[in-house]
Amino acid sequence: MRKLLCMVSVLACLPLLSHAQTDEEKGHAIQLETERRDAGFDNSMYDAVMVLRNAQGEESVREFTFRTLEVAGDGDKELGVFHRPADVRGTAILTFSHGLKPDDQWLYLPELKRVKRISSVNKSGPFMGSEFAFEDIASWELEKYTYRYLRDEVLDGHDCFVIQNTPAYEYSGYTRQVEWIDKAIYQPRRIDFYDRKNTLLKTLTFSDYNQYLDHYWRAGRLDMVNHQNRKSTTLFRKNYRFRVGLSDRDFSESSLRNVQ
Amino acid sequence: MAHRPYTCSGSAGLWIACLMLGGCMTGAVRAADWSGFAAVDLRAFPDTPAFAGQSGMRVVPSVALQPEFRHEWNEGADRLTAIAFGRVDAADSNRSHVDVRELNWLHQGAGWSLRAGVGKVFWGVAESRHLVDIVNQTDLVENIDGEEKLGQPMLNLNIPTAYGNFTFLYLPYFRERTFPAPRARLRFSLPVDQDAPQFASGGRWHPDWAVRWSRTFGNWDVGIAHFMGMGREPRLVPRFDAGPIPTALTPVYDLIHQTSLDAQASLGNWLLKLEAITRSGQGRRFAAVVAGFEYTYYGLFGSSADLGLLAEYHYDGRDRSAPPTPFNNDLYLGARWSLNDAHDSQVLAGVTTDLETGATMFNLSASRRLGEKWKVELESRMFQSIPPTDILTGYRRDDYVQVRVARFF
């Protein structure tokens, strides 16, 4: 019994003994803190404007509304409803994320009033023809990656941890991501994405952070630059609203059919 | 637009007052949310028609307009939807038609929603035949694929629960199917007289009912439904106007009971699909099934394009006293190519073969967005080796290629 107590006390002290931490443990601990600080928002929604630019600089615009419901003990539920371009207006995507298990995803086509299942294999496919892949738009869950602390670095005046995230889920288009996490707000400032050949593919930068409910930080602007095809996408997230009374019922087949 | 915040909340009366003042308020108020599309179609028939009296036009132009209006109030809890559709066709007087696709009020309560008015409900998962879909009548003159529907008056109560979604439908008024005019292409060997239908119930005002339960079990989505009322598929009874040779087909709508099952599952790259029905009221009780899959290769050859391969088997056990169907024992094979580009370019090609007669129908559809508001669509159908006994024999010289240019607003 005394031996057991001794072990428990040693285990309890481990997080304090930072010099004894491996880089993996430190990376995980930092992301655990990121998750802890972001938990408890319950539900939220925002309006998005996405500007797609091709290599010639020609732009096209997408608009959608995104709703999120926090689910205790599982990944978030998300509903995206598109408003622009006009021909896809009222199209909606409902996602139940499940961490390491495959997500459940449905597409609603308003012209036919049809609900279709989407395969969860399609993680690396482009979201709305943009440089964001489905896996970039999907909700971040702690268990989706393994982590390794790389270094501390000042990025554009922000004191950051630099962490390597390795996808633990199947069908990712990335071997790894390198993420700069702002020490002050525990939110990403930049993510470099490395493709399956471990070549730098894309860089995502986060800016225009605002704090909501005196607690939750959200970036108002995300810039994704593809270094290989020289296309880019800017995602503006506006009108963030938290705790707007969303529940499971707002993320059901019936809510999908009532989108439009 | 769904779920936008409105400061002009409150009663419908207040909203109507807002509307009459011509969008009196400024800022976030969107008193009238208009959208829709206009389209020009050119449909080319390379062959001369099969029947005397059919239009010899090789290229048939038509124009279509679909204005849509939506308004929400009570922070999105109430919504009015109005969608009208109209087409003018140069060769088919029946295809020149107008329809109220939707005119309904949706109220979303706590744990239920009710839609009252003219609406549209789609059930089903298959690609090549819409077997379980029964709520709305098919607008056949619009497209022979059965995906265009007429507006259906309804009360539609939806209750999502922990045990699945329950839908209850009361359908008080019957809409009869549209059929091409005798002069038009893509008609049966005998023209259907769509203006002289017969109803088993005596008239169009007949209470039809439907109920559906649907639920997700892990990777599977399952739906079970029952419909009782006037079947949407008519029997086509030969009409003898002068002498022993029939001159037209009269659509006869029967009272039926139909129970259906639909299921789809997502298993890795596989999407499995099943639709099955059993129907009584048209000849002896029969069953029909569509079962198949779609297997998708994502990120084809390192690009962002996807290629889906589709296969669906059709069985239909109806006897000759039931409405005719070409899908008694058929196999559909298809391929869907999605570029996932900024233009949303897509191609779907398929071929349906009757395993008994060898009758074959080819389908091709492709679409691409041009700029922000334009879309160009290509559609082609070809019919081969259709025997005289097949309901589609009237189509045998009606291969066509159609180009559609649509402007969304």
Summarised one tens digit per residue, pLDDT across range A143-199 is 999 999 999 999 999 999 999 999 999 899 999 999 999 999 999 999 999 999 999
Is A115 domain-assigned? yes
In contact, B46 and B399? CB cutoff 8 Å: yes
Taking the Cβ of residue A57 and every Cβ of chain B, the question of whether any pair is shorter than 8 Å is answered with no
Interface test with B, best of A115, A195, A201 (most B CBs within 10 A): A115
**Whether B122 and A258 lie within 8 Å, measured CB to CB:** no
Residues, chain A: 260
Task: Return the structure tokens found at A68.
Answer: 């999120």
Tell me the chain A residues in contact with residue B372 when contact means C-beta distances shorter than 8 Å: 60-61, 84-86
Each residue's pLDDT tens digit, B302-330: 888 999 999 999 999 999 999 999 999 99
**Chain-chain contact of B369 with A117 (C-beta, under 8 angstroms):** no
A90 and B2: CB-CB below 8 Å?
yes
Task: Give the Cβ contact number of residue B195 at 10 Å.
Answer: 9
Q: Kindly indicate the confidence band of residue A139, based on its pLDDT and cuts at 50, 70 and 90.
A: confident
Chain A, 60 to 119: residues with Cβ < 8 Å from chain B are 60-61, 65, 81, 83-90, 102, 104-106, 112-119
Burial B296-323 (b: 16+ CB within 10 A, else e): bebbeeeebbbbbebbbebebebeeebb
Contact residues, chain A, for B222 at CB < 8 Å: none
pLDDT of B7 reads 32
Query: Quick one: closest CA in A to B265, which residue?
Result: A117
**Among candidates B265, B340, B371 on the partner chain, residue whose Cβ is nearest the Cβ of A126:** B340
If one counts the domains in chain A, the total is 1
Contacts of A44 in chain B (CB under 8 A): none
pLDDT bucket at A74, cuts 50 / 70 / 90: confident
Residue A102 lies in a domain: yes
What pLDDT, on the 0 to 100 scale, is given for residue A19?
59
Please report where in the chains the tokens 């029997």 appear, as a residue. Answer: B235
Quick one: CATH architecture of B32-408? Answer: Beta Barrel (2.40)
With a cut of 90, say whether residue A254 has pLDDT above it.
Answer: no
Which backbone phi and psi does B101 adopt, to 5 degrees? -75, -40
Sequence-ordered list of residues with C-beta below 8 angstroms from that of A256, at least 6 positions apart, any chain = A79, A92, A94, A106, A108, A115
Q: Cβ–Cβ of B35/A86 closer than 8 Å? A: yes
ipTM field: 0.88
Structural tokens at position B227: 């419909």
What mean pLDDT is reported for chain A? 90
B35–A83 CB contact, under 8 Å = no
Q: How many CB atoms lie within 10 A of CB B285?
A: 15
Q: Which domain holds residue A252?
A: 25-257
- CB distance B165–A253 less than 8 Å? yes
Q: Find, among A212, A211, A218, the residue nearest to A243 by Cα.
A: A212
- According to the model, what pLDDT value does residue B233 have? 97
Q: Are B342 and A122 a contacting pair at CB < 8 A?
A: no
User: CB count, 10 Å around CB of B7?
Assistant: 11
What CATH number has the domain bearing residue A104?
A: 2.50.20.10
> Do the strands B248-253 and B198-199 form a parallel or antiparallel pair, or are they unpaired?
parallel
For the residues A75-82, what does the mean pLDDT come to? 94
For chain B, give the percent of residues with pLDDT over 70: 92
Nearest to B375 among A87, A114, A254 (CB): A87
Q: Choose among A104, A113, A171: nearest Cβ to B122.
A: A113
* Residue A10, domain member (yes or no): no
For the stretch A216-246, pLDDT in tens is 999 999 999 999 999 999 999 999 999 999 9
User: Tokens at residue A168, please?
Assistant: 């633990």
Tens-binned pLDDT, residue by residue, of chain B (409 aa): 333 333 333 333 333 333 333 333 322 334 578 999 999 999 999 999 999 999 999 999 999 999 999 999 988 899 999 999 999 999 999 999 999 999 999 999 988 999 999 999 999 999 999 999 999 999 999 999 999 999 999 999 999 998 999 999 999 999 999 999 999 999 999 999 999 999 998 899 999 999 999 999 989 999 999 999 999 999 999 999 888 999 999 999 999 999 999 999 999 999 999 999 999 999 999 999 999 999 999 988 888 899 999 999 999 999 999 999 999 999 999 999 999 999 999 999 999 999 999 999 999 999 999 989 999 999 999 999 999 988 899 999 999 999 999 999 9
Cβ–Cβ of B343/A255 closer than 8 Å? no
Q: Which of B4, B75, B150, B304 to mutate to test the interface with A (most CBs of A within 10 A)?
A: B304
- Calpha distance B46→A107 (Å, rounded): 37
Set of chain A residues whose Cβ sits within 8 Å of the Cβ of B37: 86-87
| Residue B160 to residue A260, Cβ atoms within 8 A | no
CB nearest to B216's CB, from A86, A104, A130: A104
Q: How many CA atoms lie within 13 A of A112 on its CB side?
A: 16
- Rounded to the nearest angstrom, the minimum Cα separation between A113 and chain B is 6
**Domain annotation covers residue A4:** no
**Nearest residue of chain A to residue B123 (CA atoms):** A114
Q: Where along chain B do its domains lie?
A: 1-31, 32-408
Q: In what order do the strands lie in the sheet with B198-199?
A: B198-199, B248-253, B235-239
Quote the CA–CA distance of A174 and A196 in Å, as a whole number: 5
* B192-230 pLDDT, tens digit each: 999 999 999 889 999 999 999 999 998 999 999 999 999
Residue A5: inside a domain: no
Neighbour tally for B117: CB within 10 Å: 19
Question: With left for phi above 0 and alpha for psi between -120 and 50, is residue A143 left, alpha or beta?
Answer: alpha
In a domain, A6, yes or no: no
Contact A125 B340 (CB under 8 A): yes
Q: How far is residue A82's CA from residue A93's CA, in Å, rounded to a whole number?
A: 9
Is the residue at A14 inside a domain? no
Q: State the pairing for strand pair B329-338/A77-84.
A: unpaired
Residue of B nearest to A89 (CA): B1
A178 in contact with B, Cβ within 8 Å = no
